[in-house]
């Protein structure tokens, strides 16, 4: 799975969904409510469907855990 680099806009880190593959977009949209996706304005450009980097980082951690074959809660 590819890790994406955020863009900085007005001191905030954002990830546009255009960075994602079609499969990743589908997975992400199933996991996150649509109201969490934001429009981000740049001078002369509006990026639709952007998410804050913290949400993206959380999603990546969950995906990495789901790919591990070792039980996480093995007592």
User: Which residues have CB under 8 Å from 72's CB, separation 6+?
Assistant: 65
Q: SS3 breakdown of the chain: % helix, strand, coil, rounded to 5?
A: 40, 30, 30
What pTM was estimated for this model as a whole? 0.69
Predicted confidence (pLDDT) per residue in 24-51, tens digit? 888 888 888 888 888 988 888 898 889 8
**pLDDT value for 1:** 57
Structural domain boundaries in the chain? 7-67
Q: Is the pLDDT of residue 74 over 70?
A: no
Predicted confidence (pLDDT) per residue in 56-71, tens digit? 888 888 877 766 555 5
| Sheet bearing 7-9, strands edge to edge | 7-9, 12-16, 45-52, 38-42
């Amino acid at each position: 799975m590819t890790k994406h680099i955020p863009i900085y806009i007005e001191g905030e880190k954002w990830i546009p969904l255009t960075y994602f593959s079609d499969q990743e977009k589908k997975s992400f949209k199933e996991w996150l409510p649509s109201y969490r996706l934001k429009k981000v304005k740049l001078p002369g450009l509006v990026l639709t469907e952007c998410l804050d980097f913290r949400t993206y980082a959380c999603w990546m951690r969950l995906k990495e855990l789901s790919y591990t074959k070792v039980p996480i809660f093995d007592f």
